[in-house]
Amino acid sequence: MASSEARRIADQTAIPMYLMRGGTSRGPMFLAADLPTDPQTRDQVLLSVMGSPHPLQVDGVGGGHALTSKAGIVKPSRLDDVDLDFTFVQLQPETSTVHTTQNCGNMLAAVVPFAVETGLLQPEQNITDVVVRTTNTGLIARISIHTPQLDDQRYVQYAGEAEIAGVNGSAAPVNIRFLNTAGSIASALLPTGKVSDVVTVDGTDYTVTLIDNGQPLVIIDAEDLGVTGYETVAELSADTELKTRVEALRLAAAQDMGLGDVTDASYPKMTLVAPPRDGGAITTRSFIPHRVHESIGVLAAVTVATALLIDGTVAARIATCGTGLSQTVEIEHPSGIFEALVDLDDSGAVVASGNTRTARLISRGEVYVPASIWDPSTT
């Protein structure tokens, strides 16, 4: 059954919320009908829900990290052949920024379980297959989850044998197939039309690959930045000089990608690459963009895998890739290996991509925000 609408209780507003893990991210999920229709008011509500801006987000449900400062908004889609519309919201612990211009393949994994839990979808088979549109960029994905029957009612199965790096234990698989990822925010898969570019920052030339197959990335050989690419997250996070150079390069590369001034944006992501050393195809270290990722984002991994399969890119020059029209590309990252599934046509062009994630419902109930921020009885 769908949750009830937000309501005022004394000097606070109670909003129905499902706290969910999607992949290696976590955040509150909402029905669109339970949030303000005005985007500015909605953003203020979400900042209050998360407890931003504050490094620990102690006055909200945020986890003090970009990966746990995310939210999702879901509603039925009005488009033909699409079941659900999903708006991904990226917030930050220490700032008041609210971004809805990028994708998140991790929180995407929580959308279909959430829709079943709230009654937006009524499962009829052991496998529920759903088409979801991410409104941020128009990304379309086909997502399937396990919905077995118990006592004449189907439920979301969370227990299972699928394991993903960055999450303890195992869970039921959430299979995601992306249907149109090229040029999600940038103008094209290769926005400059080149497999590699030279970006100059403070008199130094950097050879990079600028690519967007679901997530705009700047891919650079780690050695070109004076590191190995095998450093720990803590080591990279402590390297202030490196982070300064990486950010300067990001800002310059974004201009070449046609993304404009991205000072306050969370894209493009910076991805340092190195030869594999743990049996995968390539090693990565990701900046998202100002913190080092403990693993790698779903669509960032898909984009790295795509770059790896394009001759002449920075990734292809140092990576180990397989053969065939359907490949599982293993992307090494600080927490383990991410398996990206990639399909190619006879010309070698990437035509489809996907991955397996897991998700879990952590808590459900109501989250409270001051009525001074939003009083639903007045709208």
The reported pLDDT for the residue numbered 249 is 98
Residue 297 CA to residue 305 CA, distance in Å, equals 12
Q: H/E element holding 249?
A: helix 240-256
**Assigned domain for 208 exists:** yes
Q: What angle do CA 87, 339, 285 make, to 5 degrees?
A: 80
- Inside any domain, residue 338: yes
Examine the domain organization and report whether 129 and 268 are in the same domain. Answer: no
Query: 296: Cβ–Cβ under 8 A, 6 or more apart, which residues?
Result: 271, 284, 286, 304, 331, 333, 338
Instruction: List the alpha helices (DSSP H) in 155-195.
Output: none
Report the CATH number at residue 150.
3.10.310.10
* Distance from the Cα of residue 238 to its chain's centroid: 24
* Global pTM value: 0.83
Residue 72 lies in a domain: yes
In this structure, the answer to whether residues 60 and 119 fall within a common structural domain is yes
Same domain for 155 and 40, yes or no, is yes
- Domain assignment of residue 103, yes or no: yes
DSSP at 295 = S
The mean pLDDT value for 162-176 works out to 95
CA distance 4 to 296: 36
Structure confidence at residue 178 (pLDDT): 92
The pLDDT tens digits of the residues spanning 263-291 come to 999 999 999 999 999 999 999 999 999 99
Q: Is residue 75 part of a domain?
A: yes
Cα 121 to Cα 83, 124, 131, 372, distances in angstroms: 9, 9, 12, 34
Note the Cα 292 to chain centre separation in Å. Answer: 14
SS3 assignment, position 49: helix
Same domain as 215, residue 113: no
**What average pLDDT does the segment 195-220 reach?**
97
- State yes or no: pLDDT of 4 exceeds 80: no
Nearest of 72, 110, 105, 71 to residue 91 by alpha carbon: 71
pLDDT band per the 50, 70, 90 thresholds, residue 1: very low
CB 276 within 8 A of CB 283: yes
Same-domain check for residues 224 and 259 = yes
What pLDDT digit, counting tens, does each position of 314-347 carry? 999 999 788 888 889 999 999 999 999 998 888 8
Mean pLDDT, residues 52-58 taken together: 98
Residue 3 pLDDT: 46
Number of structural domains in the chain: 2
Instruction: Tell whether 136 and 260 lie within a shared domain.
Output: no
Q: Per-residue pLDDT for 213 more than 70?
A: yes
> Are 307 and 363 part of one and the same domain?
no
Rounded CA-CA distance 79/84 in Å is 9
Q: Is residue 150 part of a domain?
A: yes
Query: Could you give the percent of the chain with pLDDT greater than 70?
Result: 99
Which whole-number Å values give the CA distances from 222 to 113, 226, 230, 280, in the listed order? 38, 7, 9, 17
Give 125's pLDDT tier (boundaries 50, 70, 90): very high
Distance of CA 278 to the CA centre of its chain: 24
Model pLDDT, residue 2: 42
Looking at the structure, do residues 340 and 368 belong to the same domain, yes or no? no
Range of the domain at 230: 197-350
Residue 224 sits in the same domain as residue 113? no
Q: What is the pLDDT of residue 367?
A: 98
Contacts of 187 (CB under 8 A, 6+ apart): 258
Nearest-angstrom CA–CA distance, 103 and 297: 10
Determine, yes or no, domain membership for 188. no
- Of the pLDDT bands very low, low, confident and very high (cuts 50, 70, 90), residue 122 is very high
| Residues 168 and 253 both lie in one domain | no
